[in-house]
Chain A
Amino acid sequence: MSHLHVPDGLLPLWLWGPGLLLVLGMLALASRSATPQRVAYQGALGALMLAANALPLGPLEYHLTLSGPIGILLGPAGAFQAAFAVSVILALLGHGGFTVVGLNTLVLGAGAAVARPVYTALVAIVRPRTAMAWGTASGQAVAGGLWLLVMAATARFAPSHPGAAGLGHHTESPAAHFEVLAAFAFPLWLVGTAVEAMVAWGIGRFLERVHPALLPGGDPSVVHAEVA
């Protein structure tokens, strides 16, 4: 529940237009501190996010996003850029529309951006694997909340007839329509948060043992030497 599967034509212009502009502005800010070497690492982890998106884990095409672990490993700025690249490529696959790229990046990027500070706060008192699980769960919770907000807006304002999209008109649906979405989405959100947190725990455990320098709480001198 941290990736919008909303196709083109379901959201009004006043919702996706500002989302796209906001993301472009945030990307301009986020890319200031990047170095070419860092961008190569972002590309690799962005591809990992895409690979996770491509491997279905169960019914209803459920898949991981790994936005939490990637956010922890790259930091908010890097993860935001990776989230944008992932959203654009997913749109080319018809997996979320082109017009929703901005909102998708915001939802994915928000989950990633929240995960890192939570991890940093927790890693002083618990092991990195546990901090990574809680950081991911927090990011998923925030991303899921945003997801639900966008879905609520979609259910309420989605243009239901030609001409309503992009022209500022909208038709209001009964609350029951949103309840259909919420009833479907809420349990998935809870399960998704638990699944992502457990997978993040596994990633944290592996990196802790094999390559702790890649973790934000790892040996910073090694990371600087390798990734600076």
Chain B
Amino acid sequence: MINPLAQMDYYASSGGTPWHRASALGKLLLAAGTIGLAVSAPTWVLLGAVHAMAWGLVLTSRLPGRLVVAAAGYPLLFSALFIVSRWDGTLITPLTLALRPLTASLIAAWLVGTTPYPDIFAPLSRGLPRHVADSLFLTYRALFALLARAERLLRALRLRGGWSGPPRRRLAHAGEGFGTLVVHGFERSQRLYATMRLRGHSGRICGCRHYAEASAADVWVAVAALSLAGLAVLLWRVP
């Protein structure tokens, strides 16, 4: 699950499409509008059109197909449970239950794959309490290092026979492994805080301000937003 995120993170910083150059704020607003329209579409023609537009955004962002499938297809696994539990013999219900989450996850993949995480979190953090916003930044920052460590630890556990025996023993060993990560996380947080203070931390991790700086590429975001609005107006009442 995290590996696609790590790769998305890489493409977000290294991609060269207009979506990558557009401001994070514009893309966030477009993503929110698309998801809002997908979950509230009154006709399924409109839902289909919004879904097609989500595909358009993803395909033009030049993200690798396997990554998009891995990131966007994940919710389908869980939607299947709801589709089964709400089966009414029609085609429209399962289609709707599948299209809504798929549209939202495609948009999430597009957003994460074209926007570096500080630019995504910076506008979000403006609306959150200070320490909560800081916690968001620090959690994401610590994630990849900790995950690599967790994977090494589980591999070592398997190689040294710690993953054999009855489940109770295996889980206790895994717990002790996580215990080492707690201690590591604590020590890491201490070092991080010391570093932040040395570098003049003012009591707030402030995301870079260029998340709202518009560029020529924002024209494409505006075009997409206008298309979305046009779709909503034209297809709102089409059955």
A residues within 8 Å of B by Cβ?
5-10, 13, 24, 27-28, 30-31, 34, 36-37, 39-48, 50-55, 61, 66, 69, 73, 81-82, 84-86, 88-89, 91-95, 97-99, 154-155, 158-163, 165-167, 173, 177-178, 180-181, 184, 195, 198-207, 210-211, 214, 226-227
Contacts of B75 in A (CB 8 A): 5, 7-8, 94-95, 97
Question: How far does the Cβ of B74 sit from chain A's closest Cβ, in whole Å?
Answer: 5
Contact A7–B79 (Cβ < 8 Å) = yes
Nearest residue (CB) in B for A132 is B175
Q: How many residues of B contact A (CB 8 A)?
A: 88
Contacts of B38 in A (CB 8 A): 8-9
Contact B100–A226 (Cβ < 8 Å) = no
The 10 closest A-B pairs by CB, nearest first: A202-B175, A9-B100, A43-B138, A206-B179, A7-B101, A44-B185, A163-B42, A47-B142, A8-B104, A94-B105
Contact A166–B35 (Cβ < 8 Å) = no
Question: How far does the Cβ of A29 sit from chain B's closest Cβ, in whole Å?
Answer: 9
Contacts of A41 in B (CB 8 A): 185-186, 189
Contacts of A98 in B (CB 8 A): 35, 104, 108
Nearest residue (CB) in A for B195 is A40
Contact B176–A40 (Cβ < 8 Å) = no
Residue from B41, B96, B139 in contact with A85 in the complex, judged by beta carbons closer than 8 Å: B139
Contacts of B143 in A (CB 8 A): 47, 50-51, 89
Contact B101–A55 (Cβ < 8 Å) = no
Contact B186–A8 (Cβ < 8 Å) = no
Nearest residue (CB) in A for B106 is A94
Contact A180–B175 (Cβ < 8 Å) = no
Question: How far does the Cβ of A212 sit from chain B's closest Cβ, in whole Å?
Answer: 11
Nearest residue (CB) in A for B175 is A202
Contact B181–A7 (Cβ < 8 Å) = no
Contact B203–A36 (Cβ < 8 Å) = yes
Residue from A9, A47, A181, A211 in contact with B146 in the complex, judged by beta carbons closer than 8 Å: A47
Contacts of B40 in A (CB 8 A): 13, 163, 165-167
Question: How far does the Cβ of A108 sit from chain B's closest Cβ, in whole Å?
Answer: 13
17 A/B residue pairs, CB under 8 Å, sorted by A: A6-B78, A7-B101, A10-B97, A39-B134, A40-B138, A43-B137, A44-B192, A45-B182, A46-B142, A52-B178, A81-B131, A89-B139, A93-B71, A155-B85, A199-B172, A202-B178, A210-B179
Asked whether B164 is an interface residue with its Cβ less than 8 Å from the other chain, the reply is no
Asked whether B224 is an interface residue with its Cβ less than 8 Å from the other chain, the reply is no
For the complex, give the distance between the alpha carbons of A201 and B44 in Å.
50
Known A45-B185, A94-B104, A160-B96; further 19 A-B contacts with Cβ < 8 A: A10-B101, A40-B193, A44-B138, A46-B142, A55-B150, A82-B139, A91-B108, A92-B108, A92-B120, A93-B2, A95-B74, A97-B75, A163-B43, A202-B176, A203-B182, A205-B172, A206-B176, A206-B180, A210-B180
Nearest residue (CB) in B for A184 is B81
Nearest residue (CB) in A for B31 is A98
Asked whether B112 is an interface residue with its Cβ less than 8 Å from the other chain, the reply is yes
Most interface-central of A48, A162, A177, A195 (chain B CB within 10 A): A162
Question: How far does the Cβ of B170 sit from chain A's closest Cβ, in whole Å?
Answer: 9
Contact B2–A163 (Cβ < 8 Å) = no
Contact A88:B124 (CB < 8 A) given known A61-B77, A207-B183: yes
Contact A39–B101 (Cβ < 8 Å) = no
Q: Please, what's the 1-or-0 string for B88-103, where 1 marks a CB less than 8 Å from any CB in chain A?
A: 1000110011011101
